[in-house]
Amino acid sequence: MVDPMKKYSGFSLFKHALKHHEDWQKTWRSPRPKQSYDVIIVGGGGHGLATAYYLAKEHGITNVAVLEKGYLGGGNTARNTTIVRSNYLWDESSRLYDHALDLWYGLSQDLNYNVMFSSRGVMNLGHNLQDMRDIERRVNANRLNGIDAAVLTTKEVKDIVPIINDSQDIRYPILGASWQKTGGVARHDAVAWGYARGADQLGVDLIQQCEVTDIVVEQGAVTGVQTSQGFIGAKKVACVTAGNSGVMASMAGIRLPLESHPLQALVSEPIKPIIDTVVMSNAVHAYVSQSDKGDLVIGAGIDAYNGYGQRGSLHVVEHTLSAICELFPMFSRVRMNRAWGGIVDTCPDACPIISKTQVDGLYFNCGWGTGGFKATPGSGHVFAHTVAHDDPHPLAKPFTIDRFNTGHLIDEHGAAGVAH
Amino acid sequence: MLHIYCPYCEEMREEEEFSYAGEAHIARPLDPESLTDAQWGDYVFFRTNPRGLHHEMWNHAAGCRRYFNVTRDTQTYVIHETYKMGEQPSVTGEKP
């Protein structure tokens, strides 16, 4: 619940306009850390902030701190291509991502913060017979799971995206696509800031510039964390640190089945509205949408090597742009403005780990790899349940770390390995 | 773009000629039948994934097509050494 005095509304806008917008309340406090908390969440990105928000809202646990070594939403939350969809192949993952999609639909109202979720549809192109067979299989699986999905023909693709190159003479012609109309994009910063504000108003302490340097474990149970601002005690520590999860795990003396890779994305100069949906292609590895500012948002692939450097190699970007230019010849003279890399924690089965660990009171939510943004609300929601009850949320049960020992993997490479 | 010295070709070549092959020095268990599920899972899936020095395998795919080892810093991407399969790294980050 947002404090009625601080609620954003037409009325508050009017009220502040009378005072020349000079005394808007701070969006969140910046408290000093207390000596101890019931729950410490390490990592102030979208997933961590969402976890804090749902811990406070759904489970009444408000003695919570979110520790962020940089600034809120400054890691992968600020570095993704903001695509939201739920058309995953397997039952386990489609339920999880569809749960997130349900939450996206009411999120702006729930948070009283405009996350600019735009359900403009997401299209995955097929370029050969096998692609189309895979697409049909996935669409059928989606429909059985109640997810809105359809197979498009080349003509239907062209009707939705008139600027696409539907020539059958190109190296990778478009033979059709899968289509999730309820998918779309959201504003990444607003998601982090909305959850941060919501959590803060429920009493969660958001502590920035506070790097966790060690996880303190005594007799197999967590007692707190050492940070750049001193020791902070906690009964439970929940790590939501994406690419740095392996580093966090090693502090607690455990290993994770993760490898961290740079994943690059780039945006063009702003242009007039030209593409009003999201077009993705796994086979040629390219995906593009247009932001509200008008820039084309383009995702490249991961660099094959392990890396924490938040940058990657140029040939990966070149590869993506050559595919984009073949699909959209008219983009060939658009200049690219900025490119960046985020560090993604890839899992062997391209599915996340939402799990307790062998250390009591230590939880991990990681392994989202290349496609975590879309799951932000659902991830936080089920992880909050897992932390609050020390027992996995029913939707999170298949995603425990044990699956790498039992062999019960959820192989989502087809639906998740490339596209986001 | 990394520049990698192939210890077999004895030449500095561009990254695009190579393909990455993951963490090095992971020995296949000699007696897989006797491993528990936990031990087998650990061998197959779990990795050190360090932030810093990393010993890793690369394949010179567009050259000699042989595998070799590289010691690289995963934060700065500086390559400290490359060495042939079967050899041990000389840069380990441990103080002598």
- The beta-carbon neighbor of B49 closest among A259, A404, A407 is A259
- Residues 6 or more apart whose Cβ sits within 8 Å of residue A348: A257, A404, A409, B44, B45
Q: Does residue B78 sit at the A interface (CB-CB below 8 Å)?
A: no
pLDDT at A2 over 70: no
The reply to whether B55 falls in a domain is yes
Q: A301 CA to chain B: closest CA distance, Å?
A: 14
> CA distances (Å), A12 to each of A19, A58, A113, A115, B95, in order?
11, 27, 13, 18, 62
Written as six digits, the tokens of B80 are 């400290």
Written as six digits, the tokens of A350 are 């391209």
CA-to-CA distance for A103 and A87, rounded, in angstroms? 15
3-state SS assignment for residue B19? strand
What does the pLDDT read at residue B96?
61
Lowest mean pLDDT among A36-45, A215-224, A405-414: A405-414
The reply to whether B90 falls in a domain is no
pLDDT at A1 over 60: no
Q: How many CB atoms lie within 10 A of CB B45?
A: 20
What does the pLDDT read at residue A420?
42
- Chain B residues 39-58 within an 8 A CB cutoff of chain A: 40-42, 44-51, 54, 56
User: How would residue A283 be classed by pLDDT, with cut points 50, 70 and 90?
Assistant: confident
Question: Interface pTM (ipTM) of the complex?
Answer: 0.94
User: A49-96, pLDDT tens digit by residue?
Assistant: 999 999 999 999 999 999 999 999 999 999 999 999 999 999 999 999
User: How would residue A276 be classed by pLDDT, with cut points 50, 70 and 90?
Assistant: very high
Written as six digits, the tokens of B31 are 């007696």
| pLDDT cut 90: percent of chain A above it | 93
User: How would residue A258 be classed by pLDDT, with cut points 50, 70 and 90?
Assistant: very high
Cross-strand partners of B49: none
The reply to whether B78 falls in a domain is yes
Written as six digits, the tokens of A10 are 């037409």
A255/B72 CB distance under 8 A: no
Q: B96 CA to chain A: closest CA distance, Å?
A: 23
DSSP structural state of residue A124: E
- Rounded to 5°, the CA angle A187-A367-A404 comes to 155
Q: B15 CA to chain A: closest CA distance, Å?
A: 9
Residue given tokens 């101890």 in the structure block: A36
Which of the pair, A354 or A417, is modelled with greater confidence? A354
For residue B35, what is the nearest residue in chain A, using CA coordinates? A405
The reply to whether B94 falls in a domain is no
End-to-end CA distance of chain B: 32
What does the pLDDT read at residue B95?
65
A309/B16 CB distance under 8 A: no
The reply to whether B89 falls in a domain is no
Q: Give mean pLDDT, residues A293-315.
A: 93
- Residues 6 or more apart whose Cβ sits within 8 Å of residue B94: none
Model pTM above 0.90: yes
Q: Give mean pLDDT, residues A297-308.
A: 93
3-state SS assignment for residue B80? strand
Summary count for chain B: helices (H), strands (E): 1, 6
CA-to-CA distance for A227 and A210, rounded, in angstroms? 6
- Where in the sequence is the domain holding B71, given as residue range(s)? 3-84
Cross-strand partners of A256: B47
CB burial of residue A110 (10 Å; 0-12, 13-18, 19+): middle
3-state SS assignment for residue A405? helix
> Parallel, antiparallel, or unpaired for β A122-126 and A278-281?
parallel
The reply to whether B92 falls in a domain is no
Contact A56, A203 (CB under 8 A): yes
What does the pLDDT read at residue A419?
45
Give all strands (DSSP E) within A141-258, no chain letters.
Answer: 150-153, 176-180, 184-185, 205-207, 212-218, 221-227, 230-239
DSSP element (H, E) containing A301: strand A295-302
Closest listed residue to residue A65, CA positions, set A41, A29, A44:
A41
> CA distances (Å), A142 to each of A145, A153, A180, A369, B15, in order?
5, 18, 10, 21, 39
Written as six digits, the tokens of A298 are 């383009």
CATH number at residue B49: 3.30.2270.10
What does the pLDDT read at residue A344?
95
The reply to whether B93 falls in a domain is no
Please name the amino acid found at residue A156: E
The reply to whether B95 falls in a domain is no
Residues of chain A positioned with their CB less than 8 A from the CB of B16: 315
User: B30-79, pLDDT tens digit by residue?
Assistant: 999 999 999 999 999 999 999 999 999 999 999 999 999 999 999 999 99
3-state SS assignment for residue B84? strand
pLDDT at B93 over 90: no
Q: Give mean pLDDT, residues A391-413.
A: 94
User: A10-24, pLDDT tens digit by residue?
Assistant: 999 999 999 999 989
pLDDT at A4 over 90: no
CA-to-CA distance for A34 and A48, rounded, in angstroms? 19
Q: Does residue A306 sit at the B interface (CB-CB below 8 Å)?
A: yes
What does the pLDDT read at residue A417?
42
Written as six digits, the tokens of B19 are 């393909």
Mean pLDDT across chain A: 94
Total domain count, chain B: 1
3-state SS assignment for residue B13? strand
- The beta-carbon neighbor of A309 closest among B22, B38, B76 is B76
User: A118-164, pLDDT tens digit by residue?
Assistant: 999 999 999 999 999 999 999 999 999 999 999 999 999 999 999 99
- The beta-carbon neighbor of A304 closest among B20, B23, B77 is B20
What does the pLDDT read at residue A185?
97
Contact A47, A372 (CB under 8 A): yes
